[in-house]
Structure formats: C-alpha cells, structure tokens
Amino acid sequence: MTTTPIIELRNISYSYPQAPKPILKDLNFSITEKNYGIVGSNGCGKTTFFQIIVGLLKPDEGELLFKGAPVTDKTMLRALRKDVGFLFQSSDDQLFSPTVIEDVAFGPLNLGYQPAEARELALETLNKLGLYGFEERITHRLSGGEKKLVALATILAMNPKVLLLDEPTNNLDPETRERLITILQGLDQNQIIISHDWDFLNKTNSVLFQIEHGHIHRCEEDHIHVHSHIHKAGAHPHRHEH
C-alpha cells in the first residue's frame, strides 16, 4: 500500500529577482522517510528549498502539494503551515515576544486555544525540553543556545507533523548540541534538517540528500567524507563510528 506523502514538490523552479539563473530548477522531492538530512555547499539553495515548502516563496514553475493536493490558496497554505514547523537559522528571526512564555504560547493562541490552555501547553513544552523555570525569562537576554531551544519550543507547542530545521546545531556548545540531539531523537515528527554537521545528521538517523545545481538527489549510501578534529587527550589511535 502506498501512502500519500504529507509534502511533495513537483518540478519546482525558482529564481530570485534579478538573479542570472534559477537557484532551484525542476526539483522533485517528497517526504517518504522519517528524517532527512539536507546537505550542499553554501548558497546552493537549501534555505530557499525550505521557504518554498512553507510557501514563504512562490515557485515560478511546478507544484507544492500538501497531503496530495496542490496548495493553491490561503486556506490550503494555512493548513500546511499548521502541520509544518520551521526552525529558522537565526533564532532572533523566530522570537519576538518580551518573555519566553509569551513566545511559546503565541502559536497555540493563534491556533485558537484559550489563554490558560495555551499557557499550560507552553509550560508543558518548555518542561519537555528541560527548560524549567524559563517561562518569565526575558527572551532577548537568553544565550544563543537557550534561544535555539526556546525557538524549538515555540514550534513544538503547536505539535506540527513535520519539522524543518535550518542548521540547528550552529553555534551550539557540545553539551547543548548533545541535548538537542537527544530531544530530536525522542520526537515522533518527520524531521528535515539542513546541516553541515555530518555527525549530527548521522545521530538523527537522517537519509542524506544533496542540493546541487538546482536539483536535489539522494546521497550515495556509505558516503565517505574526510574530516579532522581535535582530541582533548592528544594524539592516540582511535576508530570512528562511520
């Protein structure tokens, strides 16, 4: 039995105004796996791809389908956005309320929850992410890592079915990064993750796709990459998981 993918992109092309050529060209993609890792060089169009998925950018050609139906009007787009949460690369673009609780309750309020219910949902979500006692904190004074987790809370409070995560481990210290990995590993949602952090993508069990020359394709199985890193205890022989 085949199931209809929640999101599908068919023959999508998109050019930024004044750009000499399309950044995405005849791109096809559908969500059939649980988690995806999206890789590709800087400027290849990864964030643009996410913006197309949530309808922030309208493709010049091709179709965006939600649960098998083309997204052609605002009602469809609203339904899609309810199910697809987008964690921006910069948390400052995501957080805009004075306090953490207001930011996290904003989504549920928008979905029609009563203020008390929205607050309860927001508190539950913060607690689930280990952000105990954060509710009255001033959002713009949080550290970068704290902002990232609060931004994730604003999305999870709306209980979307799909998460789009744009370079979520950027600027996280090793401990917060591990915390984020544990959180994501425990979620039921489909996750599409843009990242240059291969180890992170590996730990989130993501099927790797690459954006290149406007297209997206599945990376070869057993993709080999060269990397180097510093060891605290100096040089010693060791094996890697990959």
Ligand X SMILES: Nc1ncnc2c1ncn2[C@@H]1O[C@H](COP(=O)(O)OP(=O)(O)OP(=O)(O)O)[C@@H](O)[C@H]1O
Please identify, using beta-carbon distances, which residue of 53 and 118 lies nearer to ligand X.
Answer: 53
What is the spatial distance between Cα 95 and Cα 47, in angstroms, rounded to a whole number?
Answer: 18
Cβ-based nearer residue to ligand X, 14 or 134: 14
State yes or no: residue 23 binds ligand X (CB under 6 A). Answer: yes
Please report which helix (H) or strand (E) contains residue 106, including its range: helix 100-110
- Closest to ligand X by CB, 16 vs 96, is 16
Query: What whole-number distance in Å separates Cα of residue 5 and Cα of residue 67?
Result: 6
Among 42, 132, 237, 241, binds ligand X (CB under 6 A): 42
According to the binding rule CB under 6 A, does residue 210 interact with ligand X?
A: no
Query: How far apart, in whole angstroms, are the C-alpha atoms of residue 211 and residue 49?
Result: 9
Measured CA to CA, the distance from residue 120 to residue 100 in angstroms comes to 13
Among 14, 37, 48, 172, binds ligand X (CB under 6 A): 48
Which run of H or of E encompasses 241? none
> Considering only 36-44, 119-127, 177-185, 213-221, which stretch makes contact with ligand X by CB under 6 A?
36-44
Phi and psi at 45, nearest 5°, equal: 115, 20
Is residue 47 part of the contact set for ligand X (CB under 6 A)?
yes
CB of 44 to ligand X, least distance (A): 4
**Interface with ligand X by CB under 6 A: which residues?**
16, 19, 23, 40, 42-48
